[in-house]
């Protein structure tokens, strides 16, 4: 293989995320997309895609470059978990998905220039977590996608919490919105 | 609109699921897809897609027809939650996704023949839950998709539980695999 297996497999997943979001969300009626993952202080799909955009703008590639340039001597910038709130207030969900897709494509091209097998164990300094490796950063980029797409699914399910009637008792994705310790039905 | 808004919106979501599964899973390396959603008695993506196939084969359309033919006088057949275990043992994940896509397309065509706005409040008899409506059955079909795709995401994330290193503490999708009451980071 031209690239390291780990890099290739992580990149394969990262490349799929924009297309998954397009397939799932673009053109879907608001009745599915206007509900938060949890009832209190949750995020709607609009917030989640905004948060993914923030990662592309300020986090994953910037931190990769920080490791390459500074190793552990300069800590990463803190991730602003609410940067999307004002920035994306006027954008539609469909616009955010397309913006995310553009940024992700640019960042994967940049990653291909920056990353190589022998660099995966190089270390950087996370402002809270301490020393981390490039390998961990790359795996986290991918799992962070999975975490937040799952959050989109929780909000979409929540939009039809009432409509399923008595079947709710079998639907773990709804039960967990009310009680995180509920076991999937 | 030609169809009732509720029917159209539910169908819109149901139509997207096979394409989401294709985009997410087909051709993805086993390193992402060979892990269960929870460590004990969980389901790998292969099991989840098998379970979705069972729904297409025996549940959603059959129950819709049961309501139309019998109302509440004949209870639905019980859903076999483990029918996939033997049936799909020799199929690849990619094959299951394509089989599901074929069945879903057939069932949405059948649904379009069977369902109309004025029938949505017609009632059937669930073997455990009691009386349910066609509207609830249709909403449940869609939310059941969301529930189980979310389960696929949990397994995919779990496959890289170790690789993210200290970042795990921020990744709710991983924390919940170990402790369902963990709050998303």
Per the prediction, chain B carries an average pLDDT of 94
**pLDDT value at B148 more than 90:** yes
Spatial CB neighbours of A47, under 8 Å, sequence gap ≥ 6: A36, A84, A85
Cα–Cα distance for residue pair A130/A36, rounded to 1 Å:
32
Give the alpha-carbon dihedral of A142, A144, A147, A150, to 10 degrees.
Answer: -70
Chain B CB contacts of A154 under 8 Å are: 150
Cα–Cα distance for residue pair B142/A51, rounded to 1 Å:
26
C-alpha triplet A152, A157, A159: angle, nearest 5°: 100
Is residue A88 classed as helix, strand or coil in its secondary structure?
A: coil
**pLDDT value at B153 more than 90:** yes
pLDDT bucket at A181, cuts 50 / 70 / 90: confident
Q: Is B126 part of the contact surface with chain A (CB cutoff 8 Å)?
A: yes
Cα–Cα distance for residue pair B142/B156, rounded to 1 Å:
22
Q: pLDDT by residue (tens digit) across B118-133?
A: 889 999 999 999 999 9
Per the prediction, chain A carries an average pLDDT of 94
Chain A CB contacts of B180 under 8 Å are: 176, 180-183
C-alpha triplet A146, A152, A158: angle, nearest 5°: 135
**pLDDT value at A106 more than 50:** yes
Q: What integer pLDDT is reported at residue B42 of this predicted model? A: 95
Q: What integer pLDDT is reported at residue B76 of this predicted model? A: 97
- DSSP one-letter string for A34-68: SS-SSTTT---HHHHHHHHHHIIIIIHHHHHHHHH
Tokens (6 digits) for B1: 């609109």
Q: pLDDT by residue (tens digit) across B49-86?
A: 999 999 999 999 999 999 999 999 999 999 888 999 99
Indicate the DSSP class of residue B78: P
Q: What percentage of chain B carries pLDDT values higher than 70? A: 96
- DSSP one-letter string for A92-117: -HHHHHHHHHHHHHHHHHHHHHH--G
**pLDDT value at A2 more than 70:** no
**pLDDT value at B1 more than 50:** no
pLDDT bucket at B185, cuts 50 / 70 / 90: very low
Cα–Cα distance for residue pair A163/A19, rounded to 1 Å:
29
Q: Which of A19, A132, A171 sits opposite B165 (nearest CB)?
A: A132
pLDDT bucket at B181, cuts 50 / 70 / 90: confident
Q: What percentage of chain B carries pLDDT values higher than 90? A: 88
Q: What integer pLDDT is reported at residue A1 of this predicted model? A: 43
What length is written for chain B? 185
Asked whether the beta carbons of A116 and A109 are under 8 A apart, the reply is no
Which residues 9-38 on chain B approach chain A with CB closer than 8 angstroms?
9, 12-13, 16, 19-20, 23-24, 28-29, 31-32, 37
Cα–Cα distance for residue pair B139/B60, rounded to 1 Å:
11
pTM for the model:
0.96
Q: What interhelical angle do B60-70 and B93-114 show, nearest 10?
A: 20
Q: pLDDT by residue (tens digit) across B13-46?
A: 999 999 999 999 999 999 999 999 999 999 999 9
Q: How many CA atoms lie within 13 A of A145 on its CB side?
A: 25
Q: Which of B23, B32, B180 sits opposite A23 (nearest CB)?
A: B23
Spatial CB neighbours of B152, under 8 Å, sequence gap ≥ 6: B21, B24, B25, B37, B45, B48, B49
**pLDDT value at A4 more than 80:** no
* Terminal CA-CA length for chain A: 42
């Amino acid at each position: 293989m031209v690239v390291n297996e780990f890099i290739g497999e992580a990149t394969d997943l990262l490349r799929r995320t924009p297309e998954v979001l397009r397939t799932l969300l673009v053109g879907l009626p608001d009745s599915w997309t206007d509900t938060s993952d949890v009832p209190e202080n949750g995020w709607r799909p609009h917030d989640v895609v905004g948060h993914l955009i923030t990662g592309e703008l300020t986090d994953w590639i910037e931190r990769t470059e920080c490791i390459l340039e500074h190793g552990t001597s300069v800590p990463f910038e803190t991730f602003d978990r609410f940067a999307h709130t004002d920035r994306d207030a006027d954008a539609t969900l469909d616009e955010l998905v397309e913006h995310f897709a553009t940024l992700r494509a640019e960042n994967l091209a940049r990653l291909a220039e920056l990353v190589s097998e022998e660099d995966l164990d190089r270390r950087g300094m996370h402002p809270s977590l301490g020393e981390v490796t490039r390998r961990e950063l790359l795996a986290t980029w991918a799992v962070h996608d999975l975490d937040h797409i799952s959050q989109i699914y929780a909000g979409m399910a929540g939009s039809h919490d009432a409509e399923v009637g008595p079947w709710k008792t079998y639907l773990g994705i709804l039960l967990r919105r009310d009680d995180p310790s509920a076991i999937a039905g």
